[in-house]
Amino acid sequence: MRKNRSNFIAYSVLFVLIVAGIFMLFSSKSFEREKPLISIEDKIYWNLTSPLLVKITDESGIKSLKISMVDAEHQIILTNQNFEAPMEVLDINLSFPKTGFQSQKKGYTMSIEAVDASKWGFFMGNKETKNVEVIVDSKRPEINILNHSYAINKGGSATVVFKATDERLKELYIETNFGKKFTPSKFYKDDYYASLVAWPATQSSFSADVVAIDYAGNMTKSKIRFFYQNRNYKSSKIKLDNQNRFLNEKIPELAAQYAQNHESMSNLEKMKFVNENLRGANEKLISDITSKISEDIISEFSLKKFYPLKNAKAVASFGDHRYYTFDGQNISESWHMGLDLASTKNASIVTSNDGKVDFAGENGIYGQTIIINHGFGVFSLYGHCNSMAVKTGDQINAGDHIGATGVSGLAMGDHLHFGMIVQGIEVRPEEWMDNNWMKDNVVNILNSSKKMIDGQ
């Protein structure tokens, strides 16, 4: 009896171990059951000249891959590979075969077959197949630049209107030599677009091309031929010393608010933190907010000149490149990307145009800040406010009181930091405070473009 009981226990333990072993074996990565994932659309457009990317992924790794192209008469193998070391991620760049096919045909079928290294399916692995419809499209998009501002100033703005057509248009933007891409708005009628562009004061040169790309990868570029007007901006040296209120009062105040380790920092270290790290974060916030473009169709442009502060005097200019020195050494630098206006203490700030408040809150060196979206990629900014009479999301009308001037942020004296921004680029406020400039460079360009479109 005791022997039978011992045998039963032994067999039971053995059975449990076998079951556990089988479970562990089949639940392991080696026996995974997921088919490879072939990342490509069921229907694609190909210009037959650019490489075509096919991405395949699998947990146990791809051990073989076969891709072929088929038309009504031929089948050609594009790739047929076996991998000694299975690949979890495969990025395959396919080229159209130079022989065996006629590229004039309008379509093909691409067959993709991938097998993974899993031991599932009696060690055969998981197989995935996918047939892709390939539509041949070798025609480039068409771009016709209809009208644009005659000139653009360094630090300033300009307008361009153009027509872009393609049955399968995927991307449309204005590319600059410094990496910024401006997003055009739909203008007036189908296939027409308009955009403001900006030349940053920090960039020594400017050029811009309208770029159109279709789903097949065909690209067209067309240069916007502005007359480029260079402009020299002020360069200032600001001397700091141990008796300086800016270095010993204002900087520590902001560092205490925003720097985690401010207590262990010297005043010069606090200065670098505020003027570089904090400023960088604040300017990124402004850029992020003002880079968002509405998808509304532009037909009219009714903005009037901006005049935010009555009887104000300019106390600091736009584009001032400031160098901060201590004991004769440069310790930090910055660009002043606004126009400082001052009148009386706590002076009323009034908006000159309708818009939507996209931001109203604290923003580091700018203090209490209001950013208003006026459409067509145009934003106005009001910094160093003592108080704000609006909140984020408010719709406002021309003539509304939106706040009062103050000394919040990095301001030493009561004033308004007034900025104008075009699609994330801070530009010369003076242009937007001049009715003649706005008429010549924006309003007239759009109105004359509509007449051209109507006449076509």
Q: Does pLDDT of 359 surpass 50?
A: yes
pLDDT band at 1 (very low <50, low <70, confident <90, very high): low
What pLDDT score does 74 carry?
Answer: 79
CATH of the domain at 88: 2.60.40.730
More confident residue, 124 or 353: 353
Domain that residue 43 falls in: 34-136
What pLDDT score does 24 carry?
Answer: 45
Q: Which token pair is 180?
A: 């910024």
Would you call 381 helix, strand, or coil by DSSP?
strand
DSSP 187: B
* Phi, psi angle pair for 390, to nearest 5°: -130, 165
Judge whether 252 lies within some domain: yes
Q: Which value, to the nearest 10 degrees, does the dihedral of the CA atoms of residues 110, 111, 117, 123 take?
A: 180
Judge whether 368 lies within some domain: yes
Q: Does pLDDT of 231 surpass 60?
A: yes
* pLDDT, mean over the chain: 91
In angstroms, the CA 59 to CA 23 distance is 19
Judge whether 435 lies within some domain: no
Instruction: Decide if 402 contacts 352 (C-beta within 8 A).
Output: no
What pLDDT score does 13 carry?
Answer: 55
Claim to verify: residue 265 and residue 204 sit in the same structural domain: no
In angstroms, the CA 338 to CA 335 distance is 9
Claim to verify: residue 38 and residue 26 sit in the same structural domain: no
pLDDT band at 99 (very low <50, low <70, confident <90, very high): low
Claim to verify: residue 209 and residue 239 sit in the same structural domain: no
Domain boundary among 136, 171, 205: 136
CATH of the domain at 200: 2.60.40.10
Instruction: Decide if 125 contacts 34 (C-beta within 8 A).
Output: no
In angstroms, the CA 173 to CA 192 distance is 13
User: At which residue do the structure tokens 């205490």 appear?
Assistant: 256
List the one residue out of 328, 308, 333 whose CA is nearest residue 403. Answer: 308
Name the pTM for this structure.
0.86
Highest average pLDDT, of 13-27, 54-68, 267-281, comes from 267-281
List the one residue out of 171, 194, 174 whose CA is nearest residue 376. Answer: 194
Q: β-strands 43-46, 75-94: how paired?
A: unpaired
Would you call 6 helix, strand, or coil by DSSP?
helix
Claim to verify: residue 249 and residue 163 sit in the same structural domain: no
Claim to verify: residue 113 and residue 182 sit in the same structural domain: no
List the one residue out of 208, 184, 64 whose CA is nearest residue 129. Answer: 64
CATH of the domain at 289: 2.70.70.10
The total number of residues shown for the chain amounts to 456
pLDDT band at 95 (very low <50, low <70, confident <90, very high): confident
- Give tens-digit pLDDT for 182-212: 999 999 999 999 999 999 999 999 999 999 9
Claim to verify: residue 148 and residue 104 sit in the same structural domain: no
What pLDDT score does 20 carry?
Answer: 46
Q: Which token pair is 279?
A: 């400023």
Judge whether 436 lies within some domain: no
Q: Which token pair is 340?
A: 């400082």
What pLDDT score does 244 carry?
Answer: 86
Judge whether 96 lies within some domain: yes
Using a pLDDT cut of 90, give the percent of the chain over it: 77
Claim to verify: residue 314 and residue 218 sit in the same structural domain: no
Q: Does pLDDT of 23 surpass 50?
A: no
pLDDT band at 106 (very low <50, low <70, confident <90, very high): confident
What is the rounded radius of gyration, in angstroms, for the C-alpha atoms of the chain? 32
Q: Which token pair is 431?
A: 């242009």
What pLDDT score does 71 carry?
Answer: 81
Enumerate residues 6+ apart whose C-beta is below 8 A from 40: 54, 55, 112, 130, 132
Claim to verify: residue 157 and residue 85 sit in the same structural domain: no
Claim to verify: residue 195 and residue 333 sit in the same structural domain: no
Q: Which token pair is 432?
A: 């937007």
Judge whether 3 lies within some domain: yes
Claim to verify: residue 327 and residue 400 sit in the same structural domain: yes
CA dist list (Å): 309 to 78, 363, 365: 68, 21, 21
- Give tens-digit pLDDT for 48-66: 888 889 999 998 889 999 9
Domain boundary among 80, 108, 136: 136
Number of domains into which the chain is organized: 4
CA dist list (Å): 94 to 70, 236, 268: 14, 56, 56
